[in-house]
Amino acid sequence: MAGLKNILKSLKKDKFPFKFVYSDSYWMVDFKDHVFPVNKYRLVYENLLKKGAVKDNFIEPAIPDEMDILRAHLSKYIKKIKTGQLSSSELTALELPFYRKAIDFFFLTAGGTIQASEAALKDGICVHIGGGFHHAFADHGEGFCIINDVAVALEKMKAEKKIQRAMVIDCDVHQGNGTASILKNKDYAFTFSIHQMDIYPAEKAVSSLDAGLWSGDGDEKYIDILRQHIPRIYEEFDPDLIYYLAGADPYKKDKLGDLDLTLRGLEKRDQIVIENARRRDCPLVILFAGGYTVDINDVVSIHLNTIMTARKIYKRYSRRKILA
């Protein structure tokens, strides 16, 4: 009995029952006055330390081998990136300052999502304080995304036979067009995207399942769709790894989207995606993706809320498991 008490006590003391992938290099990349707030990574990290995360909770990402990148991207494209030979129209599509440090940032992020996948397969869940660059295609980049970290990591897990089937739950306000395109016709990958129709990308790709909403649709419609689809697609596809892109940009104060979700709605969204994965004992990788409010603290709070929701759910289950 004393042993059990000690285990429960240490569980209580262990503030986060999972790991985070994070690097200071994520926010040191300088996108100048760009709308993408890289500082959110640092702010989330600092908040986690305040909430009791310790050094052991963090994994430092490493740049992956080029071979890993080439499972999701064409070598012609990667060569062009590395040698700085993108055409002016390709640079325009990126909508991002293109320079050495920015390229390193995307490669490192892909490494981070690979490491988050490995940690999730080991621990049941891992949060990447970064990632979710879902507008990168096999042969080109778009919308602030150069390398598709999710496709790179998923393909590596599959190639190394660490998984049989993986699912991408993309809840960023923008459609996950690059991910859908790269993973199209791959029977081991299921892509779900819930997004706003009347914003970028103008031309939508075809995911395994798309749920398109319109400007101003709000919490109720959004949550109804998730309730209708999430448990069902988890059950039918039966993935052994789930990537959850918990974008902050469906929020009502976002500059790039108008879905009008409240903080409560976003929390409900997180609960549905995370709890259903936990209930199935399916490893989960959480990624940040987008978020563009005037006050960066709004985006930071949304990402932190996702983490705290995951913490609550995973702590509850670990406690239950010990008591069972």
Chain contacts with Zn ion (rule: CB under 5 A): 172, 174, 249, 290
- Exposure class string for 154-193: b at 16+ Cβ within 10 A, else e: bbbbbeeeebebbbbbbbbbbbbbbbbbbbeebebbbbbb
Q: How far is the CB of 97 from Zn ion (least distance, A)?
A: 18
Place of tokens 């089937």: 165
CB atoms within 10 A of CB 131: 28
Burial class (CB in 10 A: 0-12, 13-18, 19+), 116: buried
Q: Identify whether the C-beta of residue 255 lies closer than 8 Å to the C-beta of residue 294.
A: yes
Q: CB 253 → Zn ion: shortest distance, Å?
A: 14
**Whole-number Å distance between alpha carbons of 155 and 149:** 10
If the CB atoms of residues 48 and 248 are measured against Zn ion, the closer one turns out to be: 248
In 3-state terms, what secondary structure has residue 58? strand
Q: CB-wise, 124 or 290, nearer to Zn ion?
A: 290
Q: Closer to Zn ion at the Cβ: 119 or 146? A: 146
Q: How far is the CB of 296 from Zn ion (least distance, A)?
A: 15
Residues near 72 by beta carbon (within 8 Å), at least 6 away in sequence: 138, 147, 148, 151, 152, 155, 182
> Of 25 and 193, which has the nearer Cβ to Zn ion?
193
List, in sequence order, the alpha helices (H) in 172-287: 177-183, 218-237, 263-279
CB contact burial 240-252 (16+ within 10 A = b; e otherwise): bbbbbbbbbbbbb
Name which of 217 and 249 has its Cβ closer to Zn ion.
249
Cα–Cα distance measured from residue 306 to residue 138, given in angstroms and rounded to the nearest whole number: 29
Taking the complex as a whole, the smallest distance from the CB of residue 302 to Zn ion amounts, in Å, to 12
Asked if 98 contacts 91 with a C-beta cutoff of 8 angstroms, the reply is yes
Residue owning tokens 């997004």: 195
Provide, rounded to whole angstroms, the least separation between the CB of residue 250 and Zn ion: 9
Q: Give least dist CB 179 to Zn ion, A.
A: 12
In the complex, what is the shortest distance from the CB of residue 289 to Zn ion, in angstroms, rounded to a whole number?
6
Nearest approach in angstroms of CB 318 to Zn ion is: 32
Judged by beta carbon, residue 112 or residue 290, the one nearer Zn ion is 290
Edge-first strand listing for the sheet containing 19-21: 58-59, 19-21, 125-128, 284-287, 241-245, 166-170, 189-196, 209-213
Nearer to Zn ion, 105 or 288 (CB): 288
Minimum distance of Zn ion from residue 71's CB (angstroms): 24
Distance of CA 36 to the CA centre of its chain: 15
- Using the minimum distance from each CB to Zn ion, give the nearer residue, 153 or 289: 289
Of 149 and 249, nearer to Zn ion (C-beta) is 249
Q: Which residue is nearest to Zn ion (CB)?
A: 290
